[in-house]
A and B are shown apart, each in its own frame.
Chain A
Amino acid sequence: MLTTTTITEFEEVLGTEAVVTDPVALRSYECDGLTGYRVTPALVLLPSTAEEVAACVSVCAREDIPFVARGAGTGLSGGALPVAQGVVISVQRLRRVLSIDPDNRRAVVEPGVTNADISRAAAPYGLYFAPDPSSGQVCTIGGNVAENSGGAHCLKYGFTVHHIHAVDVVLPDGTLTRLGSHAPHQAGYDLLGAFIGSEGTLGIAVRIEVRLLPRPAAWRTLVADFDSLEAAGDTVTDIIAAGIVPAAIEMMDSLSIEAVEAAVAAGYHRDARAALIVELDGPHQEVASQFAEIQRLCRDHGCTHLRVAADADERAVIWKGRKAAFAAVGRISPDYLVQDGVVPRTRLAEALTRIARLADAAGLRVANVFHAGDGNLHPLVLYSEAAGQHDRAEHLSTSIAELCVELGGSLSGEHGIGTDKACSMPRQFDADSLATMRRLRTAFDPHDLCNPGKVLPTPRLCGERPGPYQPHPLETAGVIERM
Chain B
Amino acid sequence: MAISGTELHTCPATPAELRTVLADTVADHPKVRIAGAGTAAEWAAPPAPADLVVDTRALRGIVRYNPADMTVAVRAGTPLADLRRELAAQGQRIAFDAPRADAGATIGGLIATADAGPAQQAYGTLRDLVIGMTIVLADGTVARSGGHVIKNVAGYDLAKLFQGSLGTLGVMAEVVLRLHPLPRAGATLRLARTAAEAVAVGRRVMAGALEPAALEWCRNHLLVRFEGGQEGVEDRLSAAARLAGAPGDVLRDEEEAAAWRPVHEVTLGRPGDTVLRIGTLPGRGSRLIEAADALAARCAVETDATSSVGVGAHTVRLHTGDPAARARFLTTLRAEAAALDALVTVRRREGLPDGTDVWGPPPPTVPLMRAVKQQFDPADRFGAGRLAPWL
Contacts and interface: CB of A to CB of B under 8 A. Distances in A.
A184 interface: yes
Nearest to B206: A214
A225 to B, nearest CB: 23
A409 B149 contact: yes
B148 A408 contact: yes
A307 interface: no
B364 interface: yes
A414 B182 CA distance: 28
Interface string B224-253: 000011011011100100000000000000
Interface stretch (B63-71, B100-108, B259-267, B317-325): B63-71
Interface in A419-446: 421, 425, 428-430, 432-437, 439-444, 446
Interface stretch (B21-29, B31-39, B214-222, B372-380): B372-380
Nearest to A416: B153
Interface in A331-356: 342-346
A344 B313 CA distance: 34
A335 to B, nearest CB: 26
Contacts of B142: 432
Contact of B149 (A282, A344, A436): A344
Residue with the highest number of chain B CB atoms closer than 10 Å, among A184, A343, A417, A421: A184
A178 B158 CA distance: 19
Given A187-B345, A343-B149, A193 B156 contact: no
A190 B127 contact: yes
A286 B208 CA distance: 14
B365 A188 contact: yes
Given A188-B369, A455-B156, A342 B151 contact: yes
How big is chain A's contact interface, by range?
35 or more
B114 A185 contact: yes
Contacts, number: 267
B277 A197 contact: no
B79 interface: no
Interface stretch (B3-11, B81-89, B280-288): B280-288
Interface stretch (A41-49, A147-155, A263-271): A147-155
A162 B124 contact: yes
B164 A410 contact: no
A286 B232 contact: yes
Contacts of B151: 150, 154, 159, 342, 371, 374-376, 410, 413-414
B209 A215 contact: yes
Interface in A147-197: 147-148, 150, 154, 158-159, 161-162, 171, 177-179, 181-194, 196-197
B235 to A, nearest CB: 4
Contacts of B152: 342, 409-410, 412-413
A313 interface: no
Interface in B126-161: 127-128, 135, 137, 141-145, 147-158, 160-161
Contact of A437 (B116, B127, B158): B158
B209 A216 contact: yes
B97 to A, nearest CB: 16
A446 to B, nearest CB: 8
B197 to A, nearest CB: 15
Interface stretch (A15-23, A92-100, A235-243): A235-243
Given A286-B229, A436-B141, A346 B153 contact: no
B287 to A, nearest CB: 13
Contact of A104 (B69, B158, B282): B282
A393 to B, nearest CB: 22
A241 B152 CA distance: 21
A193 B158 contact: no
Contacts of A282: 209, 211
11 contacts: A178-B365, A179-B365, A185-B114, A189-B372, A194-B158, A245-B180, A283-B228, A286-B235, A410-B149, A433-B143, A455-B156
Interface of A: 101, 103-105, 126, 147-148, 150, 154, 158-159, 161-162, 171, 177-179, 181-194, 196-198, 214-217, 237, 240-245, 282-286, 288-290, 342-346, 371, 374-376, 408-417, 421, 425, 428-430, 432-437, 439-444, 446, 455-456
